[in-house]
């Protein structure tokens, strides 16, 4: 899949040159078997920033130079040509290939870094799948581990920080989404609590920690409030526990008043739930007594009717 983009670039450029009519100087070089001349032309095109044409020649030469000493420089330029064309998917592969194939090269460190940087550039918006973001973090961390004294370590560390911030934002918004969907299904409020807690485990230093802790209280409160009365006491009690943790952890929080309000409302919710349960129990007891009384009356009626039907024997 990573070659699709640059194959398209190659095809488009070749078609454009063919449409131009008779063979140009570039076309003659492209079709030539003089690999040295073709390599020189590729370097000239690269330096002129004509990367599309340079890519055509480097693509062809990469096969012909395999195993030759000139292949090292060729692969270096080849990777950078792809990078300049913003084909980061293929470029990162070529940079990694260079670093793995020529580990003692003076350009090995640079290419290892550039491969990781391509992953960084390919990291999508936080709302999308973050597979490349995780791979970028791994690649950048590998670079730091391999070259701890490199002048590029500082920048690589900053990129990791940026990528983790993106993952944190995704974790927070995903958990928040569960809460927003609670009105459709109260189970989403409980899912919100679980997702928020897991996010805090995965990202203990997340910058949204205070908002997330408050949202845990709010989610648990709404979960309890929308539950059946016989389940409310336990669920409100849990909400009170979360509220107490928040109040103790953030005594100066701008959300402190809301946390205290949620705690107070939860305590009222428990009292109301107990009243409802008592009322329900009383009604159930009355109903049960009424049914028992009706059963007794029915028994008496049946007994009287039976006695009336019995005839007294003749003397």
Does the 172-290 domain belong in CATH 1.20.1440.230? no
User: What is the per-residue pLDDT across 114-137, written as a single tens digit (0 to 9) for each?
Assistant: 999 999 999 999 999 999 999 999
Kindly state the helix (H) or strand (E) to which residue 307 belongs, with its residue range.
helix 256-309
Answer for the pair 215, 176: CB distance below 8 angstroms, yes or no: yes
Domain boundaries, the chain: 1-90, 172-290
Phi, psi of 66, rounded to the nearest 5 degrees: -60, 125
Q: Which of 53, 49, 58 is nearest to 25 (CA)?
A: 53
pLDDT digits (tens, 9 = 90+) for 60-88: 898 888 877 789 999 999 999 999 999 99
Please name the residues in contact with 52: beta carbons below 8 A apart, sequence gap of 6 or more: 9, 12, 13, 85
Residue 186 phi, psi dihedral angles, 5° rounding? -65, -20
CA 231-234-240 angle, to 5 degrees, is 130
What percentage of the chain has pLDDT greater than the value 90?
A: 68
Which residues in the chain land under pLDDT 70? 1-23, 280-282, 284-285, 289, 292-293, 295-315
Q: Give the global pTM.
A: 0.75
């Amino acid at each position: 899949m990573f070659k699709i983009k640059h194959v398209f670039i190659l095809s488009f450029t070749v078609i454009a040159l063919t449409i131009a009519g008779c063979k140009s100087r570039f076309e003659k070089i492209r079709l030539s078997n003089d690999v040295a001349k073709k390599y020189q032309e590729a370097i000239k095109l690269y330096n002129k920033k004509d990367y599309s044409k340079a890519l055509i020649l480097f693509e062809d030469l990469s096969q012909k130079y395999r195993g030759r000493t000139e292949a090292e420089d060729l692969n270096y330029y080849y990777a950078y040509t792809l990078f300049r064309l913003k084909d980061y998917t293929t470029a990162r592969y070529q940079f990694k290939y260079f670093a793995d194939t020529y580990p003692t090269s003076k350009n090995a460190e640079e290419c290892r870094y550039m491969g990781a940087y391509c992953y960084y550039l390919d990291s999508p918006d936080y709302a999308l799948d973050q597979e490349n973001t995780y791979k970028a973090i791994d690649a950048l961390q590998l670079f730091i581990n391999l070259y701890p004294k490199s002048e590029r370590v500082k920048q690589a560390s900053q990129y990791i920080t940026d990528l983790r911030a993106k993952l944190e934002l995704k974790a927070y918004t995903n958990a928040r989404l569960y809460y927003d969907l609670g009105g459709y299904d109260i189970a989403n409020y409980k899912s919100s609590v679980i997702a928020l807690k897991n996010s805090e485990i995965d990202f203990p230093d997340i910058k949204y920690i205070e908002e997330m802790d408050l949202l845990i209280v709010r989610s648990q409160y709404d979960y309890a409030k929308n539950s059946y009365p016989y389940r409310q006491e336990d669920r409100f009690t849990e909400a009170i526990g979360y509220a107490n943790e928040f109040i103790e952890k953030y005594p100066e929080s701008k959300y402190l008043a809301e946390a205290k309000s949620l705690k107070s409302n939860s305590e009222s919710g428990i009292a109301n739930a107990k009243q409802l349960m008592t009322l329900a129990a009383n009604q159930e007891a009355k109903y049960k007594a009424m049914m028992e009384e009706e059963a007794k009356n029915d028994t008496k009626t049946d007994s009287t009717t039976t006695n009336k039907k019995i005839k007294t024997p003749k003397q």
